[in-house]
Amino acid sequence: MQPFEYRRAPTLDAALAEARAAATAYIAGGTNLVDYMTLGVLRPQTLVDINHLPQSYAQIDASETRLRLGALVRMSQAEEHPLIRERYPLIRDTLLLAASRQIRNMASLGGNLLQQTRCEYFRGRGFACNRREPGSGCAALEGVNRPHAVLGTSESCIATYPGDFAQALIALDATVEIAGGRGAPRRVPFASLHRLPGDTPHIQHSLAPGELITYIDVPAGPWTRRSRYVKVRDRESYEFALASAAVALQLEGEMVREARVALGGVATVPWRAREAEEVLRGAVLDESLAQRAAAAAFAAAAPRGHNAFKIPLGRETLVRALLEARSMSA
C-alpha cells in the first residue's frame, strides 16, 4: 500500500473542501476501498473520513409517501428498520443477502452504491484491465469469465456490477442527492448515476471529482410492498450473485397493472429491464408470461465463453422472482 494522508471531516463543507485536492477519496465504511488500496488497485493520496459528519446523514426518514436514507446509514441499520421491512421488502432483501453481517455493520449505503467490480482481472497482479489501466486491454474477454456480465458489455470491459442494493433502487426509481458542485445539492435519478463501460470503462459514474452522495430518496409506490429480490449464487451466503432479480409488482387480481424489474450479477451496471416490464404490464401473470418477460430481458445478452449459462440462469431467476412476488400477500 502506498502512503496516504488521512483527514477527518467534521462537516459536509469541510469534507467537500478537503476533497478538492487531487487524488482524494472519501472513506466511510471502507470495506471496499481499503481492500483495493491494499491491493494497490486504488491509490488515493488523501482519504477524507466522512464518518463524523452530522447525524442527519446517517438517519432514516420514512413516511407514508417516501423513504429518505442518509448516505452514511449502515447497511445493517437499514435492513433492521421496521418500516423498510414492512413496506420495502425488496430493499430489505437486497441488504440482507449482501456480504456478511460484519461487513454490513461497517458499510455505508452511499459507499455501497459506488462499490467497485470484483472482476478478478481488475484486482491487478499483472493482468490487462481497461478499467484499472485505460488502454491496457481486457484479459477477461478471453479469460476465465464465468462471473462476468452478459448485459451492457463492451469490447473494452465485461466486468459485472456486483451490488444488490442498487438493483432495488433502480427498480424503485430512486433518486440521489449529490453535494459538491456549485450552489445547492443536485438531484439525479439513480438510473443515471452509473455509466456503461463503452470504451471508457474507467469512468464508472457521473459524479464529478469531489462530489459526494448525501441522500437517497425512494418514492413509495403501490408496487413497493409486493416486491422481492431473488439472488442465486454458488454459496448460500457471503457471495456475490451469479444472477439476481429485483421485482416490484402492482397486481389487479392476476393482471399486472405495473411492474418494475431490475437484474443483478449479469450486467456491467445496475440494470433496469424495461423490456420485461413492458411484456408484463397489462397481462395476466402466469408462468408463460413470466418466461416471455424473462426472454425479453435477456434478448440483447452477449455471452463470452464461461458465462453463457447466465442467460438461462438469469431468465430462470427472473421467472422465479416474478412468481414469488405474485404469491406474496401485499
Partner 1 sequence: MNPATPAPRENQGAPLERVDARLKVTGEARYAADIAVANLAYGVLVTSTVARGAVSELSLEAARATPGVLDIVSYDDVRELRKPTFGMGSYTSLGPLHERRIFHDGQIMALVVAETYQAAEEAAASVTARYAQEPASAELDSPGTEELDAAGKVAMLKKDPASGDFEQAYQAAPVRIDAEYRTPTQTHNPIELFSTTAVWSDGQLTVYEPTQSVYGFRSEIAKQLNLDLAQVRVVSPYVGGSFGSKGPLTPRTAIVALAARRLGRPVRCVVSRAQGFTTQPYRAPTRHHIRLGATRDGTISAFSHEAWELTSRLDNYAVAGTKTTTRLYGYGAVASKVRIVRADRQTPAFMRSPPELPYVFPLETALDELAYALGMDPLDLRLKNDSQREPIEGKPFSSRHLKECYEEGAAAFRWRERNPRPASMREGDWLIGFGCATAVYPTNVAAAAARVRLAADGTVRVQSASHEIGTGIRTVAGQMAAERLGVPLAAVSVEMGDTNLPPAPTSGGSNSTASVCSAVLKACDQVRARLFQAASAAKSGPLAGRDVSRMTLRDGTVLAGDGASQPLQQVLGASGAGAIEEYAEFVPSGAPVDAMQKLYRGQTTMVRSEERPAVSFAFGAEFVEVRIHARTREIRVPRLLGAFAAGRIMNTRTARSQLMGGMIFGMSSALLESTELDPRSARIVNADLQDYLVPVNADTGTVEVIMLSETDTSVNPAGVKGLGELGDVGTNAALANAVFHATGKRLRNLPIRLEDLLGGDSAA
Q: Quick one: 73 or 140, whose CB is closer to partner 1?
A: 140
The CA distance from 299 to 56, in Å, is: 43
Site map for partner 1, 146-165, x if CB under 8 A?
Answer: -x------------------
CB of 131 to partner 1, least distance (A): 16
Does 133 engage in binding with partner 1 (CB under 8 A)?
A: no
Sign of CA dihedral 292, 298, 304, 308: negative
The CA distance from 156 to 141, in Å, is: 8
Does 230 engage in binding with partner 1 (CB under 8 A)?
A: yes
- Residue from 236, 253, 327, 329 touching partner 1 (CB under 8 A): that is 236
Does 80 engage in binding with partner 1 (CB under 8 A)?
A: no
The CA distance from 283 to 273, in Å, is: 17
Beta strands per DSSP E along the chain: 5-8, 24-27, 46-49, 60-62, 66-70, 175-179, 186-189, 212-219, 227-232, 243-252, 255-264, 271-272
Give the range of 88-96, 184-192, 239-247, 272-280 binding partner 1 by CB under 8 A. Answer: 239-247
- Residue from 129, 212, 242, 262 touching partner 1 (CB under 8 A): that is 242
CB of 247 to partner 1, least distance (A): 14
Q: Quick one: 81 or 92, whose CB is closer to partner 1?
A: 92
- Residue from 151, 176, 232, 256 touching partner 1 (CB under 8 A): that is 232
CB of 303 to partner 1, least distance (A): 12
Give the range of 18-26, 179-187, 215-223, 237-245 binding partner 1 by CB under 8 A. Answer: 237-245
Closest by Cα among 144, 113, 133, 114 to 41: 133
CB of 323 to partner 1, least distance (A): 9
Does 320 engage in binding with partner 1 (CB under 8 A)?
A: yes
Per the CB < 8 A criterion, the answer to whether 206 and 216 are in contact is no
CB of 144 to partner 1, least distance (A): 4
The CA distance from 311 to 66, in Å, is: 35
> Within its chain, how far is the Cα of 306 from the centroid?
23
Does 139 engage in binding with partner 1 (CB under 8 A)?
A: yes
Does 233 engage in binding with partner 1 (CB under 8 A)?
A: yes
Quick one: cell of 213?
452522495
Q: Quick one: 36 or 88, whose CB is closer to partner 1?
A: 36
User: What is the identity of the amino acid at 296?
Assistant: A
Sign of CA dihedral 254, 256, 259, 261: positive
Quick one: cell of 184?
445547492
Q: Quick one: 1 or 22, whose CB is closer to partner 1?
A: 1
DSSP of 187-247: EEEGGGTB---TT-TT--BSPPTT-EEEEEEEE--TTSSSEEEEEE-SSSSSS--SEEEEE
Does 189 engage in binding with partner 1 (CB under 8 A)?
A: no
- Residue from 192, 238, 255, 282 touching partner 1 (CB under 8 A): that is 238
Per the CB < 8 A criterion, the answer to whether 229 and 265 are in contact is no
Q: 16-75: which residues touch partner 1 (CB under 8 A)?
A: 40
Does 126 engage in binding with partner 1 (CB under 8 A)?
A: yes
Where does this chain bind partner 1 (CB under 8 A)? Answer: 1-3, 40, 118, 120-121, 123, 125-127, 139, 142-144, 147, 230, 232-239, 242-243, 309, 312-313, 316-317, 319-320
